[in-house]
Amino acid sequence: MKYFHKSTALLLSAALLLSASVLSGCERNNSGDEGSKGTVSEETKPAGKPIYAPTIPDNPIDESIAGSNVAAAIGTAVDYSGKVSMTIHNVTELDAKASTGGRFFVAEMTIANQSSEPIDCSTGTHFSLDVDGEVSYMPVIDVSAAIYSRQYYASIHKDSYMNFNQEIAVGQSVDGYVAFKTPASFDSLKLVYTPYKYYSNDTISCEITESDITHYKNPFGPASE
């Protein structure tokens, strides 16, 4: 019998649905059609894309068992055991949304499945953030980060660019992003990818320095509170 990682799926679902609602609301408010206020047209209804929930095996690996780590660098493809390749192309800070409560980023990347079996790839399951030596998946499922990332991609006309939420077929390469939130200040930052979560604790981690970060300074979306 297999079980689903329902808690992660629900959190991601809430973030994505809320971001879709905010975006569709913005579209309605900017329509300029007085007669359409209070209604949702077919064009502005958020798409009902289901959340992909990776399965957990009956005997997942104990998280206390140390795994190996492959160090990655932005702009360079890194290979894990000849099975998975990851390339982080850029990390962008959404400057307009920064506050004393935190900073928001999107990391764009390509993940390629070079193995002989399909692999799971879900933002909330396979990614985490290491901030000053403390590792947690919570920053990558932050609801505000999810909303701001969708608003950002809408503002630069890349609405079809999505976070990772699918199975990657054999030989397939997938482009996507991971949105995350950090404290307002930190000494060290790493984005961590666990390709075979539940089966292996091996990771690919990419250190992100201030010099690696590009900045999007234009305002977008509703004003931050």
Q: How far apart are CA 112 and CA 124, in angstroms?
A: 18
Q: Is residue 76 part of a domain?
A: yes
Q: Is residue 55 part of a domain?
A: no
Answer yes or no: is pLDDT of 160 > 50: yes
Q: Is residue 113 part of a domain?
A: yes
Q: Is residue 61 part of a domain?
A: no
For 70-94, how does the pLDDT look when each residue is reduced to its tens digit (9 = 90+)? 999 999 999 999 999 999 999 999 9
Residues 129-155, mean pLDDT to the nearest whole number: 96
Quote the pLDDT of residue 204. 98
Quote the pLDDT of residue 56. 86
Task: Kindly report the CATH number assigned to the domain that includes residue 156.
Answer: 2.60.40.1240
State which residues form the domain around 94: 69-216
Q: b/e string for 191-209 if b means 16 or more Cβ within 10 A? A: bbbbbbbbeebbbbbbebe
Q: How far apart are CA 152 and CA 138, in angstroms?
A: 21
Residue 208: closest CA among 72, 108, 101 = 72
* Both tokens assigned to 97: 């949304």
Q: Is residue 9 part of a domain?
A: no
Residues 32-47, mean pLDDT to the nearest whole number: 41
Tokens 């160090």 -> residue = 71
Q: Is residue 46 part of a domain?
A: no
pLDDT > 70: percent of the chain? 76
Quote the pLDDT of residue 223. 61
Domains of the chain: total:
1
DSSP single-letter state for residue 45: S
Q: Is residue 106 part of a domain?
A: yes
Quote the pLDDT of residue 24. 40
Q: Is residue 225 part of a domain?
A: no
Quote the pLDDT of residue 78. 97
Quote the pLDDT of residue 51. 67
